[in-house]
Amino acid sequence: MRSKVSIVGAGNVGATTAQRVYELGYADVVLVDVVDDLPQGKSLDMLESGPVLGIDSSITGSNGYEETANSDLVIITAGIARRPGMSRDDLLLTNMKITGDVTRQVVEQSPNCIIMAVTNPLDAMCQNIYESSGFPRNRVFGMAGVLDTSRFRTFIAQELDVSVEDVQAYVLGGHGDDMVPLVRYTTVAGIPISDLLSQEDIDRLVLRTRQGGGEIVALLKQGSAFYAPAASVTQMVEAVLLDKKRILPCCVYLEGEYGINGLCVGVPVKLGANGVEDIIEIKLTEDERASLGKSAAAVQELMDVMRGSGG
């Protein structure tokens, strides 16, 4: 029996994620959006690729939530996208209302599901979804660290002209300008990056990683990244549906881990069939811990704005 995955939001991120998950072949997909006929049209187009790709899974579109009933995993991408000159913070209050409303309808239809947050600003929306759902923290987490880490690995591989497969890295903290690429844990075929690049080059790549989303927004002029985000979501989907026990950086509600309490922040977790099955606490230097604390403080500022608005 195939798993059931519902994706809320049929924009670029949601639709591309739906395509990637559908093409895995072992999950039936429901694509939901408020725009009349949009998810139906996109899902039908994807379904008609099935004979070419040899996929027997189903994918359907809906403007309501009844079709999502009894989903195993729900991915929330719904919200307005970042535009040039707009920070992730600018998205906050609009997307807070959208994700809160979506979450309540998702929970009504699938009370036992796992929810993955993708809407920006990610960390605040993840916490909004977590609090709106009433679910235990292992069943609500956000995608950002996988994407930020993928960008960091891409830039390192380009700089050194090596395979991306040989570059290992972690980016922790909030999904914003204060994210924390862990240079000390970054290696190429097991070789510390500090043995291969100068500190100046490393600092440049770290900065580019932190500004990675904005770089794409500036180039696109309209809209924001969606191919790499969708690939990152799909890696996490596989970890859950196939119970792969992957160690991946995910946004999760912390209860004292890393000295952070009551806040959703990106840290390494074990991701499997039960969602977040363990939070991996790695040893950080004082500087790394301070950077993570600064990133968490930026997330806390967003939460304070949301709570001050009555959200």
One domain for residues 163 and 58: no
Marked catalytic residue, from 153, 175, 210, 270: 175
Residue at a domain's end among 142, 161, 194:
142
One domain for residues 132 and 164: no
Q: What is the pLDDT of residue 89?
A: 62
Q: What is the C-alpha to C-alpha distance for residues 29 and 23, in angstroms, rounded to an integer? A: 10
One domain for residues 266 and 210: yes
One domain for residues 160 and 241: yes
One domain for residues 93 and 226: no
Q: What is the C-alpha to C-alpha distance for residues 251 and 199, in angstroms, rounded to an integer? A: 28
Q: What is the pLDDT of residue 84?
A: 64
Residue at a domain's end among 114, 142, 170:
142
pLDDT in tens, the chain (311 residues): 899 999 999 999 999 999 999 999 999 999 999 999 999 999 999 999 999 999 999 999 999 999 999 999 999 999 987 666 766 566 788 899 999 999 999 999 999 999 999 999 999 999 999 999 999 999 999 999 999 999 999 999 999 999 999 999 999 999 988 999 999 999 999 999 999 999 999 999 999 999 999 999 899 988 889 999 999 999 999 999 999 999 999 999 999 999 999 999 999 999 999 999 999 999 999 999 999 999 999 999 999 998 887 65
Annotated catalytic residue 82: no
Q: What is the pLDDT of residue 45?
A: 98
Q: What is the pLDDT of residue 309?
A: 73
Q: Which domain holds residue 211?
A: 145-308
Q: Is the full-model pTM beyond 0.75?
A: yes
One domain for residues 131 and 200: no
Q: What is the pLDDT of residue 22?
A: 98
Residue at a domain's end among 142, 168, 184:
142
**At 38, which CATH number?**
3.40.50.720
Q: Structurally, how many domains does the chain consist of?
A: 2
One domain for residues 110 and 175: no
One domain for residues 280 and 158: yes
Q: What is the pLDDT of residue 176?
A: 85
**At 191, which CATH number?**
3.90.110.10
One domain for residues 191 and 303: yes
One domain for residues 57 and 116: yes
